[in-house]
Structure 1
Amino acid sequence: MQIDAQLAATVAAVIDEGSFDAAARRLHVTPSAISQRIKALEQRLGRVVLVRSKPVRATEAGEALVRLARQIALLEHDTVTAFGLRPDGGEAPRIRIPLAVNADSMATWFLPPIARLAEEHDVDFDLHRDDQNYTARLLESGEVMAAVTSEAKPVGGCLVTGLGVLEYRPMATRAYAERWLPDGATPEALARAPFVDFDRRDTLQHDWLRARGVDPWAVPRHYVPASYDFARAVELGLGWGLIPEPQASPASADLVDLGGEPTRVALYWQQWNLRSPLLDAIGAEIAAEARRRLAPLR
């Protein structure tokens, strides 16, 4: 049995865009044509590939089709580039590359190499932001081709490269520390002092408190789910928080370090195990930037 590459690409477009209507606009067809393609594919496979929710989600079969579509598009791009061919109009061939990255990496070191790569290779990047403990799941589903992750064990069908360690320091404004932690970051003071939490999937502050004998769920907290705004909230005295080393600049915001060893988060680059010059070039540029900006893995 052969799977039509156009039908697989249609499934990927629906997942990328979140709806049949949006996928139709991207592919320059009608929503009815998208629906007919998906129906024909599901009838041929004998199984449902998309859950018609908002946004549309892929089933396990749909995830396999998304992976197939992305691999075909990547290998086709590499082949066209190798032959020096160009589509009508003479413009360089373009491809969309979906990548997953944690918020702190995106805010501190990840975007400069992405900008260089986009200019050099005529790539359209589709960045998916998630906690480093969850980005590998996006690789498994086929939603992304590569990811910055905290998982050193390779996801099935992927290659792993160590990037380095992103270090975090517990920071607060001087005025906040004087009010809430006058005798230092003691367990008794930390149990009452409000902190800034990134979101409900982030455990860094929680782990830091547990290591000091404090139940994190009993402590007041403010949720600020954006990396820059998280650091800004700490600078404004909303609470204490673990700030990535590149953002931890006490002199610029009257911040003080609450003490102790920095929290270290090891980061890895996982990418699909394909012989793709483009994907390899992306991985090499990301790894080179990480070596310059992150602490080395031990």
Structure 2
Amino acid sequence: MRALDPTQLETLVVITEEGTFDAAARRLNITPSAVSQRIRALERAAGRVLVRRTTPCTPTEAGEPLIRHGRQLRLLLAEATASLNTGDTDDDGSSDGAVVDLSVVVNADTLATWFRPVLEEVATWDRTALRITVEDQGYSADALRRGEVLAAVTSEPKPVQGCTVEPLGRLRYTPGAAPALVERHRKGRGVDWGAMPMIVFNEKDHLQDEVLAAHGATRPPVVHRVPSSHDFHEAIRRGLGWGMLLDAQAEADLASGATMPLPGARPIDVQLYWQRWRLDSITVDDLSEAVRRAARAQLRPARQPRSPG
């Protein structure tokens, strides 16, 4: 394969970000024909089709690693430009230099809880834009594979190609419900799992299903969907259904009596990992250290693998 042109790689990245060749042309301030020529030249050099000409345009499997490389080049160039222009100001007092984009994918409960100190730290960094995508921890590594983000909070322990992985700690979830809802569905010493309404975050949320499976049950007829961490908790408190409460939520509610643990149900721990590009980047290194500090302060310690014997 011939050497790849950075301009063509950037064009491929912009197409996937904008969704169409025409939109990419407007952003790059060139003609749609020039966009097509760049992509065709890149595909000839790669010997593969790199982007599906659909609406929106999406990368092929061969195109995904090139998108990742294109974004890595963009990040390193932005860091270099920012370092060269440190301290430079225009006549109006504004500073020159590129903005460093940090694209990260995290799960909603992480963003609503232990990740917030990371936001505070990044807020002190000059000309750095944090771009967060919210995705279930079981699926967030897919964004890394597609080259859409440079780092992910994920439950995937196996490193994505071109990435490093390290354990962060555990989020604990306790099955809980409003006391009145539990009383209405009492069955012996437990509850009627097949009848008590349940709440899920979205179609990718299967934590409640793990609890049901442990009790030999399947989903009840009524399953509510509440795709917001704060509102999910509030829906449980108001008796809409039972669901999984985070550590802090369960402790506070137990003290106030707003919710109660479901009788006979055990908590579930979700092990979280930090996956990031294997890239010599000062900004990504600083972001990773901020994530480590926040995780150490608020997450349960990561489980240590058992030694043989």
Q: TM-score, normalised by structure 2?
A: 0.85
Task: Provide the C-alpha distance between the structure 2 equivalents of 1:114 and 1:20, rounded to a whole number of angstroms.
Answer: 34
Which amino acid is the alignment partner of residue 255 of structure 1?
T
Q: Deviations over 1:85-119 (max 9, x none)?
A: 58895334312221111121112222431342143
* Range that drifts further, 32-41 or 222-231: 32-41
SS of residue matched to 2:195: coil
Task: Provide the C-alpha distance between the structure 2 equivalents of 1:22 and 1:253, rounded to a whole number of angstroms.
Answer: 54
Q: Deviations over 1:29-55 (max 9, x none)?
A: 455543443344334444322112333
Deviation at residue 57 of structure 1 after TM alignment = 0.9
Which amino acid is the alignment partner of residue 136 of structure 1?
A
Change (3 A) 1:66 1:86: farther
SS of residue matched to 1:279: helix
Change (3 A) 1:85 1:4: farther
Matches within 5 A, 1:221-240: 221-240=223-242
Matches within 5 A, 1:33-182: 33-84=34-85, 89=90, 90-181=95-186
Task: Provide the C-alpha distance between the structure 1 equivalents of 2:146 and 2:87, rounded to a whole number of angstroms.
Answer: 31
Task: Provide the C-alpha distance between the structure 2 equivalents of 1:84 and 1:12, rounded to a whole number of angstroms.
Answer: 25
Change (3 A) 1:264 1:34: same
Task: Provide the C-alpha distance between the structure 2 equivalents of 1:20 and 1:125, rounded to a whole number of angstroms.
Answer: 26
Q: 1:80·1:86 contact (CA, 8 Å) conserved in 2?
A: no
| Runs of at least 4 residues off by over 6 Å | none
Q: Which residue of 2 aligns with 1:7?
A: 8
Change (3 A) 1:111 1:49: farther
Q: TM-score, normalised by structure 1?
A: 0.88
Change (3 A) 1:26 1:110: farther
Give the share of equivalent positions with the same residue, in percent: 40
Task: Provide the C-alpha distance between the structure 2 equivalents of 1:254 and 1:297, rounded to a whole number of angstroms.
Answer: 30
Alpha-carbon RMSD across the aligned residues, in angstroms, is 2.5
For structure 2, which runs of at least 5 residues remain unmatched after alignment?
A: 304-309
Which amino acid is the alignment partner of residue 260 of structure 2?
V
Task: Provide the C-alpha distance between the structure 1 equivalents of 2:175 and 2:14, rounded to a whole number of angstroms.
Answer: 42
SS of residue matched to 1:70: helix
Which amino acid is the alignment partner of residue 229 of structure 1?
D
Task: Provide the C-alpha distance between the structure 1 equivalents of 2:221 and 2:266, rounded to a whole number of angstroms.
Answer: 22
SS of residue matched to 1:119: coil
For structure 1, which runs of at least 5 residues remain unmatched after alignment?
A: none
- Equivalenced residue count is 295
Deviation at residue 128 of structure 1 after TM alignment = 2.0
